[in-house]
Amino acid sequence: MSIAIVAITRKGVKLGRQLNGFLPASHLYLPAKFASGQIPGEHSFQHPVKEVVGKAFLEYESLVLIMAAGIAVRSIATKLRSKHQDPAVVVLDEAGKFAVSLLSGHRGGANALATTVAFHIGAQPVVTTASEVSGTIAVDLLGREFGWELESEANVTKVSAAMVNGDNVGLYQDAGERHWWTGPLPENIGKFSSLEDLGDSACPAALIITDRLLGQEHQALLDRAVRYHPKSLVIGIGCNRGVTCSKIEETVTQVLLEHGLSAKSIRNIATIDLKRDEQGLLEFARKHNLSIEFFESKALRQKECPSEPSDAALKAVGTTGVCEPAALLSSGATDLVVPKTKRGDVTIAIARVHFGEAASRGKLFLVGIGPGDPGQMTFKAREVLLLSDVVVGYKTYVEQIKQFLSQKEIVSGGMGGEVERMKRAISLAEEGKTVAVVCGGDAGIYGMAGLVGEIVHEQGCSTSFDMEVIPGVLSLAAVAALLGAPLTHDFASISLSDYLTPWTEIARRLELAAQGDFVLVIYNPKSKQRPHQLAAAMEIVLRYRPASTLVGIVNNAYRQGQKITLTDLEHMLNFDIDMSTTIIIGNSTTFTFGRWMVTPRGYGAKYNLGSEI
Ligand code: SAH
């Protein structure tokens, strides 16, 4: 890539020299008065800067203009043609603080150049193209780093607009690199597993990544889609001596067409090493800018292939087949998309490259989604949900976050099905999927993280997938926040559910915590099957605390039906309490004012809190 760096001030020239050193293939243009002899890569000028920049605009692929943006704009204004032709223009202030991508951000590469320049001199890159700013996919650039080609430019503008405006964009991929996007996909992108589903969807725009040519039956979809052809096909070729380039070309074109495959998706050719000097083949490769991978006959002979072995080939070149084993070896595929097809002097077979799916390791996230309101869910939890292929959870939790789950596979069910659900989540992760197990509050607090740990431990501790717990706002924090500050000192959290823990154990812990003057957080206080535990718990606490001890009761914190009640131990049973309730029982120092319940940390004993500053 040729780059012209133009500087006009003494400081700018210093910066320009630095950059000239970092950027290979760059030339520095500087005013003659700052030039110091003949330095390679430097050109001095005496003409007005506008002329110098104008000329460079037409001669170079990229410009780095170290000057005020105004001067840069005036210098190039009359030269502008179109985004398909104009060079990348980056403007840099002479102090090297900002590298502004001014022109041809995407296609011309100015965004990338601004980032590179900024990196070298410690500047801030300034990029204003919408897709970068809003973190959406740059439709015209997708997959470019892997060599993907657009089927046509036709709908790029339309789909880009949908992308930037946040309209629903459907995505379908059946070939090519899978990891073309790092992190979660933008929220307006929905994945589809078939073209039919995508076509039937209401998505006004679509991205299709395929090595196939799509026919008339998809026309309605193609009218609103941008198609990318990844480099995913390997053409295995066998041929007789002296075959012409045009014969190979004709065969390859015909066979691709017959099988509905795109020539833009050819990654390379593969053949036997005896063909290193086969002129027609070399010419074909050169003409289409394709590399050829050559294999020795021994390697080809050892590869098992679907077609009948050829004795003639064995006699002539020492292997029973060329095109099929060459395509398979070069692509790493286990089967062929097109088996051996003979057309006169040329035989070809086609295989599809596998992009390391086998190596993709499953992941099991245990995600705390908070008390219920999406506003109380962490950014990280959202990100993980977007990343996941499958979401597993108790149906109430899945329902709470349904706006984040479009296009996800869902495994949900009722209470009591946890063990089955977690085993299913584990087996999905073993298959290589990214699985999010969702839990209310935090997944590690009376949640599924422990159960998954137990299952994995029972099954021998070795997993073929990775596990990660994503913390969430636990109910006790949500409930405490709604009550004020009841947990500012030591507290004990106790679940009254005796489904998995014997009541004697629960009673013992209640007794010890009450005795220790801990604030008590009571989870799972009461259910239809367990109506009596709460009264028993209250009796235990009353042995150590007066009936006037403050109690906060919160039902459905941060979700529909939220109710906050402040009362005392004596009256707490008079209120609605069920499995959506968390209770906080104060300690001997907990007090209340207005709607607040406060357990003091102890500042009042040390400081005069009433005096003015
Ligand atoms: N993992 C959760 C707890 C699950 S146990 C957490 O981190 O908080 C289920 C109990 O949590 C319920 O019986 C209730 O006591 C409490 N709980 C869950 N969500 C709640 C909410 N929104 N408001 C009040 N209590 C809640």
Transcribe 205-253 into DSSP letters: EEEEE-SBPP-GGGHHHHTTEEEEE-S-EEEEEEE-TT--HHHHHHHHH
The pLDDT of 224-230, averaged and rounded, is: 97
The pLDDT of 310-336, averaged and rounded, is: 89
> Rounded to whole angstroms, what are the CA distances from 412 to 375, 391, 420, 538?
23, 8, 10, 35
Considering only residues 73 and 115, tell me which one the structure prediction assigns the higher pLDDT: 73
pLDDT, one tens digit per residue, over 19-73 is: 988 887 899 999 999 988 778 889 999 989 999 999 999 999 999 999 999 999 9
Residue 275 CB partners (closer than 8 Å, separation 6+) = 237, 239, 281, 292, 294
Q: Is the CB of 556 under 6 A from ligand 1?
A: yes
Q: Is the CB of 579 under 6 A from ligand 1?
A: yes
pLDDT of 357: 47
Sign of the torsion formed by the C-alpha atoms of 606, 609, 612 and 613:
positive
pTM given for the model: 0.51
Helix H, strand E, coil C: the string for 533-547 is HHHHHHHHHHCCCCC
Q: Is the CB of 446 under 6 A from ligand 1?
A: yes
Single-letter residue type at 383: E
Distance in angstroms (rounded) separating the CA atoms of residues 290 and 273 = 16
Angle at 479 between CA 473 and CA 485, to 5 degrees: 105
Among residues 507, 492, 487, which one has the least CA distance to residue 589? 487
The pLDDT of residue 613 is above 80: no
CB 371 within 8 A of CB 476: no
Q: Is the CB of 447 under 6 A from ligand 1?
A: yes
Q: Is the CB of 479 under 6 A from ligand 1?
A: yes
In terms of CATH architecture, what is 362-473?
Answer: 3-Layer(aba) Sandwich (3.40)
pLDDT, one tens digit per residue, over 438-488 is: 999 999 999 999 999 999 888 876 667 778 899 999 999 999 999 999 999
The pLDDT of residue 123 is above 70: yes
The pLDDT of residue 359 is above 70: no
> Which of 199-213, 451-465, 507-521, 597-611 bottoms out in mean pLDDT, i.e. has the lowest?
451-465
The DSSP result for 375-421, as a single string, is GGS-HHHHHHHHH-SEEEEEHHHHHHTGGG-TT-EEEEE-TT-HHHH
CB 234 within 8 A of CB 350: yes
Q: Which two structure tokens, joined as six digits, stand for 431?
A: 């298959």
Among residues 579, 581, 590, which one has the least CA distance to residue 487? 590
Distance in angstroms (rounded) separating the CA atoms of residues 183 and 386 = 9
Task: Delimit the domains of the chain by residue range.
Answer: 3-128, 144-229, 233-352, 362-473, 476-598
> Which of 99-103, 344-348, 357-361 bottoms out in mean pLDDT, i.e. has the lowest?
357-361
Answer left, alpha or beta for residue 532, where phi above 0 means left and psi between -120 and 50 means alpha: alpha
Mutate to test the pocket of ligand 1, among 475, 555, 562, 563 (most ligand atoms within 8 A of CB): 475
Q: Is the CB of 19 under 6 A from ligand 1?
A: no
Residue 189 CB partners (closer than 8 Å, separation 6+) = 137, 169, 170, 171, 207
Ligand 1 centroid to Cα of residue 525, in Å, is: 10
Nearest ligand 1 atom, CA 372: 22
CB 493 within 8 A of CB 441: no
pLDDT of 360: 56
Ligand 1 centroid to Cα of residue 383, in Å, is: 23
Q: Is 229 exposed, middle or buried (0-12, 13-18, 19+ CB in 10 A)?
A: buried
The pLDDT of 248-272, averaged and rounded, is: 96
Nearest ligand 1 atom, CA 476: 8
Helix ranges restricted to H, 431-466:
448-458
Mutate to test the pocket of ligand 1, among 451, 523, 556, 583 (most ligand atoms within 8 A of CB): 523
CB 332 within 8 A of CB 311: no
Considering only residues 231 and 312, tell me which one the structure prediction assigns the higher pLDDT: 231
Q: Is the CB of 524 under 6 A from ligand 1?
A: yes
Q: Provide the pLDDT confidence category of residue 193 given band limits of 50, 70 and 90.
A: confident
Residue 156 CB partners (closer than 8 Å, separation 6+) = 139, 140, 150, 226
Question: CA torsion, points 226, 232, 237, 242, in degrees to nearest 10?
Answer: 50
Radius of gyration of the chain (CA): 34
Q: Provide the pLDDT confidence category of residue 361 given band limits of 50, 70 and 90.
A: low
> Rounded to whole angstroms, what are the CA distances from 392 to 163, 435, 450, 466?
29, 7, 15, 16
pLDDT of 462: 64
pLDDT, mean over the chain? 91
The pLDDT of residue 103 is above 90: yes
In terms of CATH architecture, what is 233-352?
Answer: 2-Layer Sandwich (3.30)
Ligand 1 centroid to Cα of residue 471, in Å, is: 14
pLDDT of 130: 74
In terms of CATH architecture, what is 476-598?
Answer: 2-Layer Sandwich (3.30)
Distance in angstroms (rounded) separating the CA atoms of residues 219 and 205 = 13
Query: Any idea which fold 3-128 has?
Result: Rossmann fold (3.40.50)
The pLDDT of residue 529 is above 80: yes
Sign of the torsion formed by the C-alpha atoms of 89, 92, 98 and 99:
positive
Among residues 547, 539, 552, which one has the least CA distance to residue 582? 552
Considering only residues 137 and 9, tell me which one the structure prediction assigns the higher pLDDT: 9
Query: Any idea which fold 144-229 has?
Result: 3.40.1390
Adjacency order of strands within the sheet including 225-229? 149-150, 225-229, 205-209, 169-173, 189-191
Ligand 1 centroid to Cα of residue 572, in Å, is: 18
Q: Provide the pLDDT confidence category of residue 315 given band limits of 50, 70 and 90.
A: confident
Mutate to test the pocket of ligand 1, among 474, 582, 584, 585 (most ligand atoms within 8 A of CB): 582
pLDDT of 362: 77
The pLDDT of residue 358 is above 60: no
CB 510 within 8 A of CB 541: yes
Please name the residue that has the structure tokens 């380039």: 245
Helix (H) or strand (E) holding 90, with range, is strand 88-92
CB 384 within 8 A of CB 443: no
pLDDT, one tens digit per residue, over 381-409 is: 887 887 788 999 999 999 988 877 866 78
Ligand 1 centroid to Cα of residue 429, in Å, is: 27
Ligand 1 centroid to Cα of residue 368, in Å, is: 11
pLDDT of 183: 59
CB 163 within 8 A of CB 137: yes
Q: Provide the pLDDT confidence category of residue 97 given band limits of 50, 70 and 90.
A: very high
